[in-house]
A = this chain, B = another copy of it.
Amino acid sequence: MENWDELTLTVLKEIIANKQVKKLREVFEEVNIVDLAEMAEQCTLSEVLFVFKTVKKDITADLFAYLSLDKQEELIKTFTGPEIKSILDNLYLDDVVDFLEEMPESIVKKVLHNATSEQRVEINQLLSYAPNSAGSIMTTDYVELFEHHSVEEAMEQIRKQGKTAETINTCFVINKSNTLLGSITLRDILFASEDMEIGEIMDADIVAVTTGDDQEEVGHIFQKYDISVVGVVNSQFKLVGIITVDDVIDVLEEEATEDIHLMAGIRPVEGSYLESNVWEIFKSRIPWLLILMIPATLTGMIIAGNSAILLIVPSLVNFIPMLMDTAGNAGSQASAMVIRGIVVDDLSIKDFLAVLFKELRASFITGLILFAINTLRIVIFMPNVGITVAILVSFTVFLTITLANLIGGLLPLFALILKIDPASMSGPVITTLVDAVSLLVYFTIAIAVLG
């Protein structure tokens, strides 16, 4: 047996080109399927098809699940009925649904046409759940046990149902009407004496989610309770599926990306940066750039409306960029902290006062320091500006820091009330808003002092 640790794309392509069937099978037995999928991504369609015809069906099904959507679509288009059937038989249904959700109607039809009537019912059921809901990411392949099962009977059931189940490490205990009663780990079953009943040893403190729960919530339940699988129940508390931790990791990563994008004023994009074409990138960025032109225009009008004072004290203009940047940065800082607090620590509108006071106090210290440093900076490096303007500018910094922190800290909480994603209340939105506020403050003070 050769050592395949260092398998390269070139070697793989050679094996396929020379139709070395035995070698190819060996490679697919030995090398990790995720790495093989990465290589297959760079193979031609006919090379990949040769793999699908040659290698064992359970392995190629797995390979299929790890391919990109483009490659999957290409393959399904050329697959015959029996080939699609074997994919369906060898994949967990949640993986089938993940891929069908992204496929055009014609592909979905072709796949469903080749499913058994049982598979079709389950796939259609899973497809009907709202996108990003627990129902849409769950699988129906799990091990179910009854309370009255003895440990011995349970092991028998696990051996029977476990062949197709996505996990056997946790089994779910239900009653005749399919109500979820508890869960039990394979470990507890192994360590129990054979004559005990499942009902006695199962874990009756149930952590379950309902089909309609948002996948982000599901992720946080995994995180909070340190579990590796969770039962999914319908509104009557009947068990309809399970979600395993590997899918949840993907969800958490996706949600973090979505939040980071939203926070930078980008609408969610499917697929990776390099995969997205220029048009998709453009569509994800242009909406906020356009929307934010409106408040940015207001800022311009504020300056236009105060042109009189700028004619009297022209040096006031020089401080506009610094004021806008500092205000924007302070606003972004506060909003990022609160937005992340909402996601990770369940911060909510009930914490309104706590956030208000924390930001007030933090901005007081920050503002004082910046007031001092900024005054010194102007007096030392711009002596011709004069102490009055220096203090005026620094006092504006102090005030705008406070306002920026309050706006940045509290807007995400208000977004929760309006059922808007708090992550959209950050970055560009806060910056542009806070810019306008800082200019208003600046001119109001300037007119009061100098005008």
CB-based contact B333/A264 at 8 Å: yes
**B residues less than 8 Å from A207 (CB atoms):** 32
Binds B, one of A40-48, A71-79, A427-435: A427-435
Judging by beta carbons under 8 Å apart, are B260 and A340 in contact? yes
Measured between beta carbons, the chain B residues less than 8 angstroms from A333 are 264-266, 285, 288-289, 428
- A227–B293 CA distance with the chains assembled, in angstroms: 46
* A414 at the B interface (CB under 8 A): no
Contact with B along A326-347 (1 / 0, CB 8 A): 1011101101111111001101
Q: Is A361 in the interface zone, CB < 8 Å from B?
A: yes
* Neighbour of A362 across the interface among B186, B281, B314, B355, CB < 8 A: B281
A450 within 8 A of partner (CB): no
Residue A421 interfacial (CB < 8 Å): no
Q: Contact at A326–B292, with CB atoms within 8 Å? A: yes
Q: Assess the A317–B318 pair: CB atoms within 8 A.
A: no
| Interface bin, chain A | 35 or more
Using a CB-CB cutoff of 8 Å, which residues 20-61 of chain A contact chain B?
A: 30-32, 34
A224 within 8 A of B: yes
CB proximity of A61 to chain B, nearest CB, Å: 14
Asked if B205 and A30 sit within 8 Å, CB to CB, the answer is yes
Chain A interface mostly helix, strand, loop or mixed? helix
Please indicate the chain B residues that have their CB under 8 angstroms from the CB of A91 in the complex.
none
Which of B295, B307, B341 meets A314, CB within 8 Å?
Answer: B307
Q: Give the residue name and chain of the B residue nearest to A359 (CB).
A: B281
Whether a CB of chain B sits under 8 angstroms from the CB of A447 is no
A334, closest chain B residue (CB) = B285
Query: A129: which B residues are within 8 A, CB to CB?
Result: none
Contact of A330 among B252, B261, B289 (CB under 8 A): B289
Can you name the residue of chain B whose Cβ is closest to the Cβ of A226?
B246
Docked complex: A326-382 residues within 8 A CB-CB of B = 326, 328-330, 332-333, 335-341, 344-345, 347, 351, 354-355, 358, 361-362, 365-366, 369-370, 373-374, 377, 381
Contact across chains for B293 and A374 when beta carbons are under 8 A apart? yes
Please name all residues of chain B whose beta carbon is closer than 8 Å to the beta carbon of A253 when the two chains form the complex.
Answer: 223, 252, 256, 344
- In the complex, residue of chain B having the shortest beta-carbon distance to the beta carbon of A357: B278
Among A81-89, A98-106, A298-306, the stretch in contact with B: A298-306
**A354 (CB) vs chain B CBs: closest residue:** B274
Q: List 13 A-B contacts (CB under 8 A).
A: A159-B191, A223-B250, A245-B246, A249-B252, A273-B341, A274-B345, A278-B361, A289-B330, A295-B325, A296-B322, A297-B381, A299-B322, A329-B428
Which A residues are closer than 8 A to B by beta carbons? 30-32, 34, 158-159, 162-163, 168-169, 186-187, 190-191, 204-205, 207, 219, 222-228, 245-246, 248-250, 252-253, 256-257, 259-261, 263-266, 269, 272-274, 278-279, 281-282, 285-286, 288-290, 292-293, 295-297, 299-301, 303-304, 307, 310-311, 314-315, 317-322, 324-326, 328-330, 332-333, 335-341, 344-345, 347, 351, 354-355, 358, 361-362, 365-366, 369-370, 373-374, 377, 381, 426-428, 431-432, 435-436, 439
